[in-house]
Structure 1
Amino acid sequence: MGVSLSPSSRGKGRRRSRRAAMAEINVTPLVDVMLVLLIIFMVTVTLPAVGVPIELPESRANPVEEVPDTVTVSIDGEGRIYLENEAVPVGGFPDALTAIGRGGDGKLPTLVLRGDRGLDYGRVMAVMGEMNRAGFTRIELVTDGSVSPP
Protein backbone atom coordinates (compact mmCIF):
# COMPACT_ATOMS: atom_id res chain seq x y z
CA MET A 1 0.00 0.00 0.00
CA GLY A 2 1.28 3.25 -0.94
CA VAL A 3 0.44 6.64 0.33
CA SER A 4 -0.83 9.04 -2.22
CA LEU A 5 -0.79 12.73 -1.75
CA SER A 6 -3.61 14.72 -3.00
CA PRO A 7 -2.85 18.06 -4.64
CA SER A 8 -4.31 19.97 -1.73
CA SER A 9 -2.16 18.22 0.83
CA ARG A 10 1.16 18.51 -1.02
CA GLY A 11 2.16 22.00 0.00
CA LYS A 12 0.90 21.87 3.52
CA GLY A 13 4.02 21.25 5.48
CA ARG A 14 6.29 23.38 3.38
CA ARG A 15 6.42 27.10 3.31
CA ARG A 16 6.73 28.58 -0.13
CA SER A 17 8.97 31.59 -0.02
CA ARG A 18 8.39 34.11 -2.73
CA ARG A 19 10.46 37.24 -2.98
CA ALA A 20 8.41 40.37 -3.05
CA ALA A 21 8.98 42.69 -5.99
CA MET A 22 11.38 45.52 -5.21
CA ALA A 23 9.68 48.88 -5.15
CA GLU A 24 12.90 50.87 -5.03
CA ILE A 25 14.61 52.71 -7.87
CA ASN A 26 18.37 52.90 -8.07
CA VAL A 27 19.02 56.65 -8.45
CA THR A 28 22.80 56.44 -8.74
CA PRO A 29 22.84 56.26 -12.57
CA LEU A 30 20.33 59.11 -12.71
CA VAL A 31 22.54 61.28 -10.49
CA ASP A 32 25.59 60.43 -12.61
CA VAL A 33 23.85 61.45 -15.82
CA MET A 34 22.55 64.67 -14.26
CA LEU A 35 26.02 65.63 -13.01
CA VAL A 36 27.52 65.05 -16.46
CA LEU A 37 24.78 67.18 -18.05
CA LEU A 38 25.38 69.92 -15.45
CA ILE A 39 29.10 69.97 -16.22
CA ILE A 40 28.45 70.13 -19.97
CA PHE A 41 25.99 72.98 -19.46
CA MET A 42 28.44 74.91 -17.25
CA VAL A 43 31.26 74.56 -19.78
CA THR A 44 29.18 75.59 -22.80
CA VAL A 45 27.65 78.60 -21.07
CA THR A 46 31.06 80.03 -20.21
CA LEU A 47 32.32 79.78 -23.79
CA PRO A 48 32.32 83.07 -25.67
CA ALA A 49 29.40 83.61 -28.00
CA VAL A 50 31.69 84.43 -30.91
CA GLY A 51 34.67 82.22 -31.61
CA VAL A 52 37.00 84.85 -33.14
CA PRO A 53 39.88 85.35 -30.67
CA ILE A 54 40.16 89.09 -30.04
CA GLU A 55 41.85 91.06 -27.28
CA LEU A 56 39.21 93.68 -26.56
CA PRO A 57 40.10 97.18 -25.36
CA GLU A 58 39.16 98.18 -21.82
CA SER A 59 36.52 100.72 -20.91
CA ARG A 60 34.62 101.91 -17.84
CA ALA A 61 31.42 102.38 -19.83
CA ASN A 62 28.17 101.11 -18.35
CA PRO A 63 26.95 97.85 -19.88
CA VAL A 64 23.99 98.09 -22.23
CA GLU A 65 21.06 95.72 -22.48
CA GLU A 66 21.45 92.96 -25.02
CA VAL A 67 19.16 93.17 -28.02
CA PRO A 68 17.96 89.82 -29.40
CA ASP A 69 18.31 90.79 -33.09
CA THR A 70 22.08 91.34 -33.41
CA VAL A 71 24.83 90.42 -35.84
CA THR A 72 28.42 90.35 -34.60
CA VAL A 73 31.21 91.84 -36.71
CA SER A 74 34.73 91.13 -35.46
CA ILE A 75 38.09 92.52 -36.57
CA ASP A 76 41.08 90.48 -35.44
CA GLY A 77 44.63 91.73 -34.78
CA GLU A 78 45.64 91.45 -38.45
CA GLY A 79 42.62 93.44 -39.60
CA ARG A 80 40.61 90.51 -41.01
CA ILE A 81 36.85 90.98 -40.78
CA TYR A 82 34.52 88.24 -39.53
CA LEU A 83 30.74 88.22 -39.78
CA GLU A 84 29.64 86.10 -36.83
CA ASN A 85 32.28 83.30 -37.06
CA GLU A 86 32.79 83.36 -40.83
CA ALA A 87 35.76 85.20 -42.34
CA VAL A 88 34.79 87.79 -44.94
CA PRO A 89 36.94 87.75 -48.09
CA VAL A 90 39.03 90.84 -48.80
CA GLY A 91 36.79 93.40 -50.50
CA GLY A 92 33.64 91.38 -49.79
CA PHE A 93 32.46 93.25 -46.70
CA PRO A 94 29.91 95.48 -48.52
CA ASP A 95 28.35 92.41 -50.17
CA ALA A 96 28.27 90.57 -46.84
CA LEU A 97 26.45 93.52 -45.23
CA THR A 98 23.81 93.65 -47.96
CA ALA A 99 23.27 89.89 -47.59
CA ILE A 100 22.28 90.32 -43.92
CA GLY A 101 18.89 91.74 -44.85
CA ARG A 102 16.07 93.05 -42.77
CA GLY A 103 14.23 91.21 -40.02
CA GLY A 104 10.55 90.29 -39.97
CA ASP A 105 9.63 93.78 -38.74
CA GLY A 106 11.45 95.46 -41.65
CA LYS A 107 14.26 96.83 -39.47
CA LEU A 108 17.93 96.18 -39.93
CA PRO A 109 19.51 94.25 -37.06
CA THR A 110 21.88 95.90 -34.61
CA LEU A 111 25.53 95.33 -35.47
CA VAL A 112 27.87 94.49 -32.59
CA LEU A 113 31.45 95.50 -33.42
CA ARG A 114 34.32 93.68 -31.68
CA GLY A 115 37.71 95.11 -32.56
CA ASP A 116 41.13 94.01 -31.33
CA ARG A 117 42.86 96.57 -29.09
CA GLY A 118 45.99 96.55 -31.26
CA LEU A 119 44.16 97.68 -34.40
CA ASP A 120 44.75 100.98 -36.12
CA TYR A 121 41.93 103.43 -35.38
CA GLY A 122 41.58 104.07 -39.11
CA ARG A 123 40.82 100.39 -39.78
CA VAL A 124 38.01 100.36 -37.21
CA MET A 125 36.59 103.61 -38.60
CA ALA A 126 36.71 102.24 -42.16
CA VAL A 127 34.66 99.21 -41.08
CA MET A 128 32.19 101.42 -39.19
CA GLY A 129 31.90 103.73 -42.21
CA GLU A 130 31.09 100.77 -44.44
CA MET A 131 28.42 99.66 -41.96
CA ASN A 132 26.87 103.12 -42.03
CA ARG A 133 27.02 103.27 -45.81
CA ALA A 134 25.11 99.95 -45.95
CA GLY A 135 22.33 101.54 -43.88
CA PHE A 136 23.16 100.18 -40.43
CA THR A 137 22.69 103.01 -37.95
CA ARG A 138 22.59 100.98 -34.73
CA ILE A 139 26.15 99.86 -33.99
CA GLU A 140 27.34 98.71 -30.57
CA LEU A 141 31.00 98.52 -29.58
CA VAL A 142 32.16 95.70 -27.32
CA THR A 143 34.89 96.25 -24.71
CA ASP A 144 36.28 94.55 -21.63
CA GLY A 145 35.46 96.12 -18.27
CA SER A 146 38.21 98.10 -16.58
CA VAL A 147 38.62 99.04 -12.94
CA SER A 148 40.94 102.02 -13.34
CA PRO A 149 40.12 105.29 -15.06
CA PRO A 150 42.23 106.25 -18.08
Structure 2
Amino acid sequence: MSFGRFDRGVDEAPMSDINMTPLIDVMLVLLVIFIITAPLLAGHIALDLPKVDTAAAQRAPKSLSVSIQKDGKLYLGDQPTTLAALTARFAAAAKARPDTELRIRADTAAPYGDVAQVMGAAQGAGLDRIGLITQPAAAASGAMP
Protein backbone atom coordinates (compact mmCIF):
# COMPACT_ATOMS: atom_id res chain seq x y z
CA MET A 1 0.00 0.00 0.00
CA SER A 2 1.30 3.40 -0.98
CA PHE A 3 0.93 6.58 0.92
CA GLY A 4 -2.35 8.51 0.24
CA ARG A 5 -4.07 5.81 -1.83
CA PHE A 6 -6.78 3.38 -0.94
CA ASP A 7 -6.55 -0.19 -1.96
CA ARG A 8 -9.14 -0.86 -4.67
CA GLY A 9 -8.53 -4.48 -5.07
CA VAL A 10 -7.96 -6.34 -8.26
CA ASP A 11 -11.54 -6.74 -9.53
CA GLU A 12 -12.77 -3.15 -9.42
CA ALA A 13 -12.21 -0.96 -12.46
CA PRO A 14 -12.83 2.79 -12.35
CA MET A 15 -16.38 3.89 -13.31
CA SER A 16 -16.34 5.51 -16.74
CA ASP A 17 -20.13 6.16 -17.23
CA ILE A 18 -21.76 9.52 -16.48
CA ASN A 19 -24.40 9.37 -13.74
CA MET A 20 -27.57 10.74 -15.42
CA THR A 21 -29.81 10.77 -12.31
CA PRO A 22 -28.77 14.22 -10.98
CA LEU A 23 -29.05 15.72 -14.48
CA ILE A 24 -32.57 14.35 -14.94
CA ASP A 25 -33.60 15.60 -11.48
CA VAL A 26 -32.41 19.12 -12.26
CA MET A 27 -34.15 19.11 -15.63
CA LEU A 28 -37.46 17.98 -14.10
CA VAL A 29 -37.28 20.70 -11.43
CA LEU A 30 -36.64 23.32 -14.13
CA LEU A 31 -39.53 21.96 -16.21
CA VAL A 32 -41.92 22.28 -13.26
CA ILE A 33 -40.76 25.84 -12.62
CA PHE A 34 -41.31 26.82 -16.27
CA ILE A 35 -44.74 25.17 -16.37
CA ILE A 36 -45.84 27.13 -13.29
CA THR A 37 -44.41 30.52 -14.30
CA ALA A 38 -45.21 30.56 -18.04
CA PRO A 39 -48.95 31.36 -17.71
CA LEU A 40 -48.18 34.13 -15.22
CA LEU A 41 -45.79 35.85 -17.60
CA ALA A 42 -48.03 35.59 -20.67
CA GLY A 43 -51.14 37.16 -19.09
CA HIS A 44 -49.51 40.36 -17.89
CA ILE A 45 -49.59 43.48 -20.01
CA ALA A 46 -47.47 46.32 -18.74
CA LEU A 47 -49.24 49.66 -19.15
CA ASP A 48 -48.33 53.13 -18.01
CA LEU A 49 -51.78 54.63 -17.52
CA PRO A 50 -52.29 58.38 -17.44
CA LYS A 51 -52.96 60.09 -14.12
CA VAL A 52 -56.30 61.92 -13.80
CA ASP A 53 -57.28 64.34 -11.04
CA THR A 54 -61.05 63.84 -11.37
CA ALA A 55 -62.97 60.96 -9.85
CA ALA A 56 -64.27 58.20 -12.08
CA ALA A 57 -67.91 58.54 -13.11
CA GLN A 58 -70.07 56.13 -11.14
CA ARG A 59 -73.42 56.17 -12.92
CA ALA A 60 -75.58 53.30 -11.81
CA PRO A 61 -77.99 52.13 -14.49
CA LYS A 62 -81.69 52.59 -13.88
CA SER A 63 -83.55 49.33 -13.48
CA LEU A 64 -87.09 48.09 -13.96
CA SER A 65 -88.36 45.09 -12.03
CA VAL A 66 -90.98 42.83 -13.61
CA SER A 67 -92.51 39.90 -11.74
CA ILE A 68 -94.34 37.02 -13.43
CA GLN A 69 -96.59 34.77 -11.35
CA LYS A 70 -97.33 31.15 -12.20
CA ASP A 71 -100.82 32.06 -13.45
CA GLY A 72 -99.30 34.60 -15.90
CA LYS A 73 -100.05 37.83 -14.00
CA LEU A 74 -97.50 40.57 -14.63
CA TYR A 75 -96.29 43.17 -12.15
CA LEU A 76 -94.13 46.22 -12.78
CA GLY A 77 -92.53 46.81 -9.41
CA ASP A 78 -95.47 45.94 -7.14
CA GLN A 79 -98.23 47.26 -9.46
CA PRO A 80 -100.23 44.82 -11.64
CA THR A 81 -99.92 45.51 -15.36
CA THR A 82 -100.46 44.03 -18.83
CA LEU A 83 -98.02 43.15 -21.59
CA ALA A 84 -99.17 46.11 -23.72
CA ALA A 85 -98.60 48.53 -20.82
CA LEU A 86 -95.19 46.94 -20.17
CA THR A 87 -94.20 47.41 -23.80
CA ALA A 88 -95.08 51.12 -23.63
CA ARG A 89 -93.18 51.48 -20.34
CA PHE A 90 -90.14 49.70 -21.81
CA ALA A 91 -90.13 52.04 -24.83
CA ALA A 92 -90.34 55.11 -22.59
CA ALA A 93 -87.54 53.83 -20.35
CA ALA A 94 -85.32 52.99 -23.36
CA LYS A 95 -85.91 56.46 -24.83
CA ALA A 96 -85.12 58.19 -21.53
CA ARG A 97 -82.06 56.07 -20.69
CA PRO A 98 -80.79 53.43 -23.13
CA ASP A 99 -78.74 51.71 -20.39
CA THR A 100 -81.86 50.83 -18.36
CA GLU A 101 -81.67 47.30 -16.99
CA LEU A 102 -84.69 44.99 -16.87
CA ARG A 103 -84.82 42.55 -13.96
CA ILE A 104 -87.28 39.69 -14.42
CA ARG A 105 -88.46 37.68 -11.44
CA ALA A 106 -90.46 34.68 -12.64
CA ASP A 107 -92.12 31.97 -10.57
CA THR A 108 -90.63 28.50 -11.12
CA ALA A 109 -94.03 27.31 -12.39
CA ALA A 110 -94.51 30.32 -14.71
CA PRO A 111 -94.82 29.31 -18.37
CA TYR A 112 -91.65 29.88 -20.36
CA GLY A 113 -93.73 31.58 -23.05
CA ASP A 114 -94.74 34.37 -20.65
CA VAL A 115 -91.09 35.02 -19.76
CA ALA A 116 -90.12 34.97 -23.43
CA GLN A 117 -92.89 37.47 -24.30
CA VAL A 118 -91.66 39.93 -21.65
CA MET A 119 -88.07 39.53 -22.84
CA GLY A 120 -89.13 40.00 -26.47
CA ALA A 121 -91.12 43.13 -25.62
CA ALA A 122 -88.11 44.58 -23.80
CA GLN A 123 -85.73 43.83 -26.66
CA GLY A 124 -88.22 45.20 -29.18
CA ALA A 125 -88.42 48.43 -27.18
CA GLY A 126 -84.63 48.77 -27.16
CA LEU A 127 -83.72 47.38 -23.73
CA ASP A 128 -80.80 45.00 -24.17
CA ARG A 129 -79.73 44.64 -20.52
CA ILE A 130 -81.96 41.89 -19.17
CA GLY A 131 -81.33 39.95 -15.98
CA LEU A 132 -83.19 36.97 -14.54
CA ILE A 133 -83.40 37.18 -10.76
CA THR A 134 -82.97 33.90 -8.89
CA GLN A 135 -82.69 32.84 -5.31
CA PRO A 136 -79.59 31.11 -3.85
CA ALA A 137 -80.02 27.36 -3.42
CA ALA A 138 -79.41 27.49 0.35
CA ALA A 139 -82.08 30.18 0.84
CA ALA A 140 -84.55 28.35 -1.41
CA SER A 141 -84.31 25.09 0.54
CA GLY A 142 -84.45 26.85 3.90
CA ALA A 143 -81.04 25.52 4.99
CA MET A 144 -78.65 27.69 6.92
CA PRO A 145 -75.17 28.13 5.39
* TM-score calculated relative to the size of structure 1: 0.46
Q: Which has the higher contact order (CA 8 A, sep 6+)?
A: 1
Larger Rg: 2
* TM-score calculated relative to the size of structure 2: 0.48
